[in-house]
Amino acid sequence: QWGGELRGLRCRMALDAIDAEMQNIRTGWEWAAGQRHCQRLTAASQGLARYLELQSREDEGEAAFRLAAAALRPPADVQQRRTLAMLLAFQSSFSPGLESGAVSARLVEEGLTLLQDQSIDADEVRWERGLLLLVRGMVRWYHGGHEQARLDYLESVDLFEAAGELWWMALSLEQLGWLDFGRKMDRLAGYVSRSLEIRRALGDIRGTAATLKLLGDQAAFHELDIAKAEQYFSEAETILRQIGDPASIQLALECRDYIYVIQGRFEEVLQLRRQQLATAEQLGVRYGRALASWGLCETLTMLGQYEEAELHGRNARALSAETGFGWALAMSTRFLGMPLLALGRYDEAWEVFQRAAGIASSDNWQFEVCVSLACLARVEHAR
């Protein structure tokens, strides 16, 4: 029930209702774990995970699923093996190890091993296996294993479709789209359009908005179709503001940001990005803070406010390094180089752009490598 409510226009109402009942929910979860009550754990897992994700309560999510997983070790029967595999997937998705890679990878492999037991019918555990592969794909993507991630995502799409889990199938398709962003943009369109079709059919309002935003990114940065991009961003923003919870408002601000960038309204972009940073700090989302900080660095550089731009650039790079996402670190590092170049600090700018190119290369992100190399050429020309 929670999972469905949290995907629709009643999301904010559902979040408030869950907030009010959270102590009872936590008590019930701990009781179900202590009793090894697989049916209750399975019934509550998707809604609980979605709620904690939307509230940016990763530590609480990791602890809740770690507690339940520990209670089911060692599993005594097939049902407990299936439930434990699911719990490990959710624990992995919340784990700080998703950033460092090692912890999440170990949890996922443990879950996949559980499902390989001869007593388990492979057709009966398609959803659990798809969930584990989806999480493993995310871990691999964040750490440069793009082709391995692609294989995991593609297999998860097939498993979710066979299991009739269309919401999860749409999520895997969206992940495939993000994987191809800046790399294989033509292939991206097929994945994302299919994801959008599924989400509209399911009435998944929040997912629809997220997919529209990705299509807007594609239209703006690949097709260079500004009118089309603005249409996608505007539709996504309207949906997100109707939902109205903090996470949706943050995404809505990003959509409005892109519209203003397209229109060249940079003073308004600056105000929006300050608002995005404040919202991200309120939510406590490290990646969101990094994104807003490097956006401020970019905008302030364009407006000639180089000293403040440098401060935000350094903050963005530090936050991106904490997330462990190579692509985010590459972009934030490159953005830091721009005010340094404008200030005439050429040696520092050269070093920063070289570092950005190296990070992007190790992450196999050729588009970002090319941009960083172009920045190095600008430094050489300025000298």
Would you say 178 and 195 are in contact if contact means Cβ atoms under 8 Å apart? no
Measure the CA–CA gap between 296 and 69, rounded to whole angstroms. 41
Three-state SS letters, 101-118: CHHHHHHHHHHHHHHCCC
Reading the chain (383 residues) residue by residue, the pLDDT tens digits are 566 677 776 777 888 888 889 999 999 999 999 999 999 999 999 989 988 888 878 889 999 999 999 999 999 999 999 999 999 999 999 875 455 567 888 999 999 999 998 889 999 999 999 999 999 998 888 776 888 999 999 999 999 999 999 999 999 999 998 887 766 666 777 888 999 999 999 989 889 999 998 888 888 777 778 888 889 989 999 998 888 877 788 888 888 888 888 888 999 999 999 998 998 888 777 778 888 899 999 999 999 999 999 999 999 999 888 776 677 888 899 999 999 999 999 999 999 999 999 988 887 677 788 999 999 999 999 98
In the numeric block, which tokens belong to residue 219?
């239209």
Q: Which pLDDT belongs to residue 97?
A: 47
DSSP 135-197: HHHHHHHHTT-HHHHHHHHHHHHHHHHHHT-HHHHHHHHHHHHHHHTTT-HHHHHHHHHHHHH
Strands (E), the chain: none
Would you say 259 and 269 are in contact if contact means Cβ atoms under 8 Å apart? no
Q: At what angle do helices 22-34 and 11-20 cross, to 10 degrees?
A: 70
Measure the CA–CA gap between 7 and 142, rounded to whole angstroms. 25
Amino acid identity at 62:
E
Domain boundaries along the sequence of the chain: 1-164, 281-383
Measure the CA–CA gap between 363 and 367, rounded to whole angstroms. 11
Measure the CA–CA gap between 365 and 268, rounded to whole angstroms. 31
In the numeric block, which tokens belong to residue 172?
């895997």
C-alpha R_g of the chain? 22
In the numeric block, which tokens belong to residue 68?
């339940």
In the numeric block, the tokens 């879950």 are attached to: 111
In the numeric block, the tokens 């994987």 are attached to: 179
Measure the CA–CA gap between 6 and 167, rounded to whole angstroms. 13
Question: Running DSSP on this structure, what letter comes out for residue 339?
Answer: H
Exposed (0-12), middle (13-18) or buried (19+): which is 24, by Cβ within 10 Å?
A: exposed
CA neighbor of 301 nearest in space, from 311, 291, 292: 311
In the numeric block, which tokens belong to residue 37?
């009550």
Would you say 1 and 47 are in contact if contact means Cβ atoms under 8 Å apart? yes
Would you say 362 and 179 are in contact if contact means Cβ atoms under 8 Å apart? no
The second-level CATH assignment, the architecture, of 281-383 is: Alpha Horseshoe (1.25)
In the numeric block, which tokens belong to residue 226?
């500004």
Measure the CA–CA gap between 317 and 286, rounded to whole angstroms. 11
Backbone angles phi, psi at 321, to 5 degrees: -65, -35
Amino acid identity at 178:
W
Measure the CA–CA gap between 133 and 216, rounded to whole angstroms. 27
Would you say 155 and 173 are in contact if contact means Cβ atoms under 8 Å apart? no
Q: Which pLDDT belongs to residue 1?
A: 56
Answering whether pTM is above 0.75, one says yes
Cis peptide before 246 (omega within 30 of 0): no
